A and B are shown apart, each in its own frame.
Chain A
Amino acid sequence: MRGETARSIALHGGLIAALVLGHFLLPEYHHGNLARIMVLAAYAIGYNILFGYTGLLSLGHAMFFAAGMYGLALGIRHLGLTPGPALLAGIAAGATLSLVVGLLALRTVGVAFMIVTLMFAQAVHLTILLAGRWTRGDEGFVIQPAQRNLWGIDLSQSDARYLAALALFVLTLALCLWLVRSRFGRVLVAVRENEERTRLLGYDTWAHKLGAVVISGTLSAAAGAAYALLFGYAGASFATVQYSILPLLWVLLGGAGTVVGPFLGTLFMFYLIDWASGVTSAYMLVAGVALVLLTLFAPQGMAGLVRARLWRGLP
């Protein structure tokens, strides 16, 4: 067990060290890309807690991402909040929404759960469109650089942005690592493997699942709020079904139920699409082909293969 811990620290510490090193070494284009990837990876980590560890497939996580994004953006734009409280407002919005959605959606199982989450997300998306007077609908709005000054740090600068994204990523990574090694996380895995038996062992599986929805939704909202703050833009397109499916894709590709999987998947998919959009305009075609091939040939994803072949204890 101690060797395991050491290896785990080496792996995740190594990844973080590489990302810190990247800040000094990467050329400007990839520096900017990686900042974006780290924020999106935080979203994917949030998604993975529900999908990968608890085994609940949600098709509506974009509503949590959007809740965080609009909680922050509307707070700054209409209530005159400074970024600190606005960030908290975004996270609180995501936490509240995920609690409500969790209380309702968890009454269903399996396919019905997917459809219910999809529909709640659709309702949120439509609400953002309907409230176009404040949210400016699909067009979205820009948050001025002057309004993105958090504790004296100007987040519209690329250096500060990279480090802030890194801080968010490290925080979510550590939280996820701690969670899955905790008692609570182990029960989540047990729910994924056999809910009936977990209940028989005396665990309140419903409360654990609700906890997973809330943690997952809150992390996704934090990523959404950070996205709006770092890149200065909020728009309804982030609440569409596509933004619910992307984290699913990243997590599947990287490896569901692993801590580093979401980051690997996001990194790989980002550059795949980046490369593909240079070759063809229809980058979603690439995403579609990737999804079909993944379900056919590698349902455990990249980190899942590592776990199956090389290191069984990969967290």
Chain B
Amino acid sequence: MEFGPHLMLAMIEGAVMAAVLALMASGLSLVFGVMRVVNVAHGEFYMLGAVAAWVVTDLVGAGPAWSFAAALILAPLCIGTLAAAIDMSVLKRLSYDPERTIVATIGLLYILQQATLMGYGADARPVAAPFDTRIALPWVEWAQGGLALYWPWGLSVTAYKLFVIAAAIVILLGLRLLMTRSRIGLVMRATRIDGEMALAFGIPVERVYALVFGLGAGLAALAGVLVVPISQAHYLMGGDALLLSFIVVIIGGLGSLGGTIVAAILIGMGEGIVSVFFSPTLAKIIATLLVALVLVFRPQGLFGARAR
């Protein structure tokens, strides 16, 4: 295949990655923005979402489409509830002290990871995509007598990948509406701006925190569910995802949802394209160093407001 079509495939891969990353990172960013808590166990919620998707589809067993739809609803709900329970039993008792919550969520990471290893096993397991049509992609070429459209052999994408991109857009729009238009969103924003003042105005800040932590974990779990039909569920899949979403959240500016999405697109596309054409390890090293340097020289991120 020539360069052009190849690049297009890489860009679609990148867009899928960007969609998953945007979901996951907005969960991380939401939790940091409202609660000032860096959740190191966020990658494990993503992994749990993927594992839960496998469990649910295995239990339902009513054809790929129905069981996947069940997983799409049940898995984030369960993981979100689990996270809210963790918030109330552990994080609340640490009174959300930044350093102690980091240590506690590191502990949580190991607990969730090893519990999954013991309950689910070390195998990577696949989930059937709800639909598996392949869509052939057209390519434009300068032929004799002007532009011509043709369908190169093998240039195609599964409909499921396009569905992931669309689903992420819908969910993120929904999240934005929730944050800007609903009463819950108003309460969350009030808590983010000044927790003590919100408490004084009668907002149950602790319940809002539990809700936010649950919502953040639910978004990660949702990303996990969406990714299983593409790349299987495995108990160690949280690590890389966590690092990438850290990168996205930092580049986008800690706590800024819009910046997070822009950064997810940048990083997802970049990673997709670079790892198709170059060595993935080298790409990761460069990305990691770049992010560290962004944080060093521009602590508020590329799009974040100046830290107060």
Contacts and interface: CB of A to CB of B under 8 A. Distances in A.
User: Are these two chains actual partners, yes or no?
Assistant: yes
Interface of A: 57, 104-105, 107-108, 110-112, 114-116, 118-120, 122-123, 126-127, 129-130, 241, 245, 248, 252, 280-282, 284-285, 287-292, 294-296, 299
A119 B243 CA distance: 8
A114 B38 CA distance: 10
Contact of A108 (B93, B104, B296): B296
A289 B100 contact: no
Q: How large is the interface on B (under 10, 10 to 19, 20 to 34, 35 or more residues)?
A: 35 or more
B115 interface: yes
B125 to A, nearest CB: 19
A119 B288 contact: yes
A120 B281 CA distance: 15
A110 B38 CA distance: 11
B100 A108 contact: no
A282 B117 contact: yes
Contact of A295 (B100, B109, B239, B246): B100
Nearest to B292: A119
16 contacts: A104-B296, A111-B102, A114-B102, A115-B295, A116-B295, A116-B296, A119-B289, A119-B291, A122-B243, A123-B285, A123-B289, A288-B106, A291-B103, A291-B110, A292-B90, A295-B103
A158 to B, nearest CB: 32
The B contact surface, by secondary structure, is: helix
Interface of B: 38, 90, 93-94, 98-104, 106-111, 113-115, 117-118, 239, 243, 246, 250, 254, 279, 281-282, 284-285, 288-289, 291-293, 295-297, 299
A126 B239 CA distance: 14
A295 B107 contact: yes
A284 B183 CA distance: 42
B111 A129 contact: no
Given A126-B285, A284-B110, A107 B296 contact: yes
Nearest to A127: B285
B299 A123 contact: no
Nearest to B116: A282
Contact of A285 (B100, B111, B288, B289): B111
A292 B111 contact: yes
Given A104-B296, A130-B279, A296-B93, 15 more contacts: A110-B98, A116-B295, A119-B289, A119-B295, A120-B289, A120-B292, A126-B288, A129-B281, A281-B118, A282-B115, A284-B110, A285-B114, A288-B107, A292-B111, A295-B107
A119 B284 CA distance: 11
Contacts of B103: 248, 252, 291, 294-295
B113 A284 contact: yes
A213 B3 CA distance: 48
B104 A292 contact: yes
A57 B99 CA distance: 8
Contacts of B246: 115, 118-119
A129 B108 CA distance: 27
> Which of B104, B108, B114, B115 has the most A CB atoms < 10 Å from its CB?
B114
Contacts of A122: 243, 288
B288 A123 contact: yes
Nearest to A101: B292
A126 B280 CA distance: 10
Give me the 4 closest cross-chain CB pairs, A-B, nearest first.
Answer: A291-B107, A288-B110, A285-B114, A288-B111
